[in-house]
């Protein structure tokens, strides 16, 4: 402690400035609370700086490169498409900088103080905030912890210049000729797809029976078919054993069906999950309950077992999604303000920016049955939609899960172009308690991909127009 370290008193302290933390700080400030938000890194956290935003920028650049080569079926071909990857990276960084500077402006505009430093809890109402030179004590009435997560590092795949986590893969200086991806989840699939679109020879090693676990096989099979068209090799039930760095790259060994194999590449990307950032910040000093995975236990208002401390985002149970963290941040801030907000995860969508995209919200067909619903599944294909055909991108379908007794929409899955945008309408429908009839009676503009939702609703009602029942 430095001389003169007089405690600064706050209504609410937010620890972590990612998509959960900064949203929580803004909403808390809007309710009249005196708020300080602390982060040792850059505003926006993993999502804005080294996750959601830069990865989608890279994916979009890869699509542009792929599209620039044209389509023979449409009569368009080109063999003179070049990539200046340094400019791709500059553009990606410019997108990130616009958003992170925007977050700073939003926090200041809402009168939330921003402090850079590391937080260590002293007790349930006190923290120390430390930087390279100073230590400052803060006392607070309430605290929202939003410290996020970190990529899991495998003991046999320590991160180096050639063994990459997702951050390293986003910052490559050149397009790899060959890339091995360990883990076929959403991060591995998205980044593998992005580089495959640039012409990289990609191999995905997945330990489970299929990639993109959590999504239905009839959805992932369409993604796998498209990946194979791009030249991506997918090896499932493969156990990564180790990596040997060579003069110009890596040699990855793995076991599949009892046989050891090797694959050489310029880099290996390890995407086997993330761990919560709940250690080394003094949570044990406060007595906050964690589960066996290091996740903080919370109630429906994001409150921990310590009544004035809340936790949100990747450090609590559930998928590590930025929009989930933001949603929980609002709930926590409003709960502190005395509002009757509580979490309801049924309307939270899950999206993979694969090719084609995947999106799911609410119950799956199997999940609905497991939950005791007498449910029906109704599908409509992109191939029967005029807009999808005119885009030359007609793989996939929309599937609605409805309750048989009254047609209530309780879930939906989409695989196809723009699934990430289309799922919002279905999330709204679930949140609002709409039925298949409500969706069918909503006039959708023609020709649009949104019509597929209307058509799927008509299938659910037994009165489809553009496919034969």
Among residues 69, 323, 446, 466, the one annotated as catalytic is 446
3-state secondary structure of 399: strand
Contact yes or no for 239/207 (Cβ under 8 A): yes
Q: How many residues does the chain have?
A: 469
3-state secondary structure of 223: helix
Strand partners, 259: 256
Q: What's the chain's Rg over C-alpha atoms?
A: 24
Q: What gap in Å lies between CA 75 and CA 252, rounded to an integer?
A: 41
Give which of 216, 252, 215, 207 is closest to 234, Cα–Cα. 207
Residue 425 CA from chain centroid, whole number: 19
DSSP assignment of 285-317 equals HHT--B-TTSPBP--TTSB-SSTTEEE-GGGBS
Contact yes or no for 274/289 (Cβ under 8 A): no
The H helix count followed by the E strand count for the chain is 14, 24
Q: Check if 446 is active-site.
A: yes
- Looking at the annotation, which residues are catalytic? 446
């Amino acid at each position: 402690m430095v001389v003169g370290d007089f405690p600064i008193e706050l209504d609410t302290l937010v620890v972590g400035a990612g998509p959960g933390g900064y949203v929580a700080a803004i909403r808390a400030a809007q309710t009249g609370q005196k708020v300080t938000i602390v982060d040792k890194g850059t505003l926006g956290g993993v999502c804005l700086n080294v996750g959601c935003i830069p990865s989608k920028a890279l994916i979009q650049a890869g699509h542009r490169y792929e599209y620039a080569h044209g389509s023979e079926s449409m009569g368009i071909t080109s063999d003179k498409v070049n990539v200046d990857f340094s400019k791709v990276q500059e553009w990606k960084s410019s997108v990130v900088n616009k958003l992170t500077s925007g977050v700073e402006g939003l926090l200041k505009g809402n009168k939330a103080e921003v402090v850079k430093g590391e937080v260590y809890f002293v007790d349930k109402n006190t923290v120390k905030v430390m930087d390279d030179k100073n230590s400052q004590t803060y006392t607070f009435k309430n605290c929202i912890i939003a410290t996020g997560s970190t990529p899991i590092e495998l003991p046999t795949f320590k991160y180096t210049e050639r063994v990459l986590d997702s951050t390293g893969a986003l910052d490559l200086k050149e397009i790899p000729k060959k890339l091995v991806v360990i883990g076929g989840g959403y991060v591995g699939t998205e980044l593998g797809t992005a580089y495959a679109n640039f012409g990289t020879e990609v191999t995905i090693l997945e330990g489970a029976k299929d990639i993109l676990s959590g999504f239905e096989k009839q959805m992932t099979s369409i993604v796998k078919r498209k990946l194979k068209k791009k030249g991506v090799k997918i090896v499932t039930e493969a156990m990564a054993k180790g990596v040997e760095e060579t003069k110009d790259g890596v040699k990855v060994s793995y076991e599949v069906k009892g046989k050891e194999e090797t694959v050489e590449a310029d880099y290996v990307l390890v995407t086997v999950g993330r761990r919560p950032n709940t250690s080394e910040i003094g949570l044990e000093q406060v007595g906050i309950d964690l589960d066996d995975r290091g996740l903080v236990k919370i109630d429906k208002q994001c409150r921990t077992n310590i009544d004035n401390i809340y936790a949100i985002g990747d450090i609590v149970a559930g998928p590590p999604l930025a929009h989930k963290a933001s949603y929980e941040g609002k709930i926590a801030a409003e709960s502190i303000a005395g509002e009757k907000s509580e979490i309801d995860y049924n309307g939270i969508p899950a999206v993979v920016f694969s090719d084609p995209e995947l999106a799911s919200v609410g119950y799956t067909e199997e999940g609905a049955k497991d939950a005791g619903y007498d449910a029906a599944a109704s599908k409509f294909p992109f191939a029967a939609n005029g807009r999808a055909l005119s885009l030359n991108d007609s793989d996939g379908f929309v599937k609605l899960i409805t309750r048989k007794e009254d047609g209530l929409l309780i879930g939906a899955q989409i695989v196809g172009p723009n699934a990430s945008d289309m799922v919002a309408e279905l999330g709204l429908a679930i949140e609002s308690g709409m039925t298949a009839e409500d969706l069918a009676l909503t006039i959708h503009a023609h020709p649009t991909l949104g019509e597929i939702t209307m058509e799927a609703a008509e299938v659910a009602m037994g009165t489809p127009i553009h496919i034969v029942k």
